Structure 1
Amino acid sequence: MSLEEYALDQNINVTPEECVSIYVNIEHRGDTVLKCAFGSDVALKRTRDFIFRLANRANQEGLPVDIFTARSYWGMPDALGQLRSGLPAGAISFTVDDESDIGSSDTIETEPTSPGEARRSYAILDVRVTDPARIIPATVLAPYPNQPGRQRVEMSKTDLLPLWFWRETGGLGIRITAHSFDCLTDKPSRIQGTSLKVGFWWRNYGTLEKQIQLRTKSQRNARGNHTAISHRHLAQAICRAVQNAMALMESVRSMRWGTLRSDARSGQNPDGELERVMAALVCAT
């Protein structure tokens, strides 16, 4: 019985969309990467939006969206405590098929759990974490903050599925200061462009965007070069951007404290000057 059917049986007024929210809250309970990074409200809303978008695109059987959601989630381990073979530990996964329009680089194919069962593909919506203190809180960057209408249009085009960097051993992530990225899978990612803009909005810091080049100059000049960038190469480029951003943020903070100490003696307000310094640094990058 679905949540909607149960609600009707109990004479509770609940819509299929509200049932989806209940399913999402249940499946994503506890500490997860996205909830720790962006907050529970943002993480759960992005998940709901992804499911509604996927249901409209892939639900060929005309199922109510709550039943589609319940069938698509791969929940907790079974009675024997067995996870479906092939899924990383802690992964919160969602069934996808060919109609979902999600590439193989963003899915994990699992082995059948019983004779005659077909292999199934899953997209990873989020990952549970055992040490949430290691997740750096941040804010999702939204384009055109002063143009709400244009922002809604651009956000509607946003790819809501996270891009995960899995290690060959099944673990998630890598140190940004790593000397080698060989431990990461080298399969193609969904990124096919020549460059990528990486946005940073860490708490207690200003916003910062950095453009990173993903191809050599000869590759950029070659026409029709639409081969996907590998996860390994993408992680390496992003890690360099993160290190540069951290160094820039630290230098600006040092400049601010130095100015504060100086102006505390003179009684001046350094905020305007700091704002210009930050703008100049951002433009320079």
Structure 2
Amino acid sequence: MPQVSNLTNDETFFEIGRLIELLLKNNPSVLELLATPRSHVLFRHPLMDMVDPQLFLSKLCKDTFAGYARTQMHKARGLNKKMNVREAPVRKSVMDFCWVYSDNAIYPLNEWLQYQGIMQEACGLSTMNHFKDCYKLFIQRNMPLNARLNGIVRSAGSNDVNTSEILKGIVPSGVLYFNKDGYSMHCREYREYNEWLEKRNEDRYKTNMSHGGQYDTKNMMHTIRLLSMAEEIARFKQINVFRSDREYLLGIKAGNYSFDELVKIADEKMVLIEEAYDKSSLPEAPDPELAENLLVRIREEFYQL
């Protein structure tokens, strides 16, 4: 197997081939791992001395380090949005996203039903060709005696509108539009908020709220760190795991900057990174032949082939 993890996925073990494969992709975690100073490594197999991370540095780092930083920023933005919710979102129904055109006016569905003095079960819908998410709307009292309508939705928990069989020639009482995309977005945001609420680290959440910035400071600290490392790799061809800007990064983690300030800093760093990689003499990608030869040598010595 190329890699195995423990039950909690807190520890992952790579076969050397998988490690080399990740180096060829300029994986940030693997490059940082191999660049860790020996004074902070508990055990290092002698064969690992053959794996010099500097040999694998390339312009791919712009996308891997800066791309990873964008992921951290995206998480921070998402958490920022969730943390600033004043009230937990209320789960809305399909009917909350429906509108009715009737008598030359447009009404929210629930308001229209109230105005008509009927329940949704006394209505029926039929599809309209070439009009996405639009339906002809019928009322039971305007139908022939033997006609039965199925309601607008099957139940309160339905995720779509319901249609009925309508005889030709019957004039609808209006047209219903179901904002299906809006409903889907609401469901996703509601689900994501509750998943975040269930899984969030309470201590980390309280820390983030206590500094007043109301964003995830750890995510933003890693964003700035990764962007700085990406620029350093382009300019100096080095992976600086031990940070000279440690106090600055800890200040970010402590919440000494507003979220908007950090977004502006990150945007400015992205401009510098683009310039640095345009001028850098780094190769476009690591040398696959060098990697293959290295892998063969390590396996030969380890397995004594």
What TM bracket, shorter-length normalisation? under 0.3
TM-score (norm 1): 0.24
Give 1 or 2: higher helix fraction: 2
Question: Higher relative contact order by CA 8 Å / sep ≥ 6: 1 or 2?
Answer: 2
Structure with higher Rg: it is 2
